[in-house]
Amino acid sequence: MISIIAAFQFLTIFPTVIKRMFTSQEMGRAVGWFPLVGVVLGFALYAVNYAANLLFPQTVSAALTLFAWIAFTRFFHLDGFMDTLDGLFGGWTPERRLEIMKDSRMGAFGTIGGILVLLTKYAALSSTLSLFPSIMLATTLGRWASPLVIYAFPYAREDGLGIEMKRSVTIREIIIATLVTGITSWLVSGWLGFIFMLGAALIAFLTAAYTMRLIPGLTGDIYGTVTTLVEMLTLVAFTATLP
């Protein structure tokens, strides 16, 4: 239970029974429950959209859902995505890129990237005909993809919460995360859910591999970037019209 509580406290603003700083070992075990946070977040966002649709047109409901998405997650993953763009594309050396990513100020790359992600998510939410599965898989797969790269790739820095968390993540956490994600994907979309899982894993590993060409490892911002990209592309995929 401590691991689950730590996952919810770390990733969302949802109230938890225990409010305290968790140890690196507890945070490492919490990684396995990140997809469960995604499941609960998906239900919460769908409830927001359902309630909004009772009063407003679909476009306004989509905007309110996106606002709730950002608020419930404390701008956490999107902030990491924007910092990543500033760092990877604003610096010329690995050291400078890491330095920029650590800077709290927002640059042009991050600002433009954040706007484009929000616009894309809004367009997908307002036009999809499969809102429930698209939201559920987006939130769940996004929080399954980050544990994969946390476990599989080295960390770029020798200090901070990210490295402590990574040192405590084992194959056990990856198995738990994959089981939660697999069951959810099957219940939501059947065999198509497993195809989406493969796509999410591919996005995660390609993003991490590209990052490793520019800096000597991943960071917490990269983990947020992986989550953001998987969420966005999952929503977009549900709007595709097949021949």
| Residue 16 CB neighbours (<10 A) | 15
pLDDT recorded at residue 122: 98
Report yes or no on 168 lying in a domain. Answer: yes
pLDDT recorded at residue 160: 67
Report yes or no on 242 lying in a domain. Answer: no
Could you tell me the residue range of the domain that residue 164 belongs to?
Answer: 2-237
Report yes or no on 243 lying in a domain. Answer: no
Report yes or no on 15 lying in a domain. Answer: yes
- What average pLDDT does this structure show over 125-149? 96
Distance of CA 11 to the CA centre of its chain: 9
Give how many domains the chain has, as a whole number: 1
- What average pLDDT does this structure show over 132-155? 97
Contacts of 116 (CB under 8 A, 6+ apart): none
Do the beta carbons of residue 141 and residue 200 sit within 8 Å? yes
pLDDT in tens, 174-207: 999 999 999 999 999 999 999 999 999 999 999 9
Report yes or no on 90 lying in a domain. Answer: yes
**Per-residue pLDDT for 219 more than 90?**
yes
Report yes or no on 139 lying in a domain. Answer: yes
Report yes or no on 184 lying in a domain. Answer: yes
Share of the chain above pLDDT 90, in %: 81
| 3-state SS, residue 242 | coil
Instruction: Residue 227: name the closest of 112, 108, 75, 97 by CA.
Output: 75
* pLDDT category of residue 242 using cuts at 50, 70 and 90: low
pLDDT in tens, 77-100: 999 999 999 999 988 899 999 999
Report yes or no on 98 lying in a domain. Answer: yes
Instruction: Residue 139: name the closest of 20, 3, 242, 48 by CA.
Output: 48
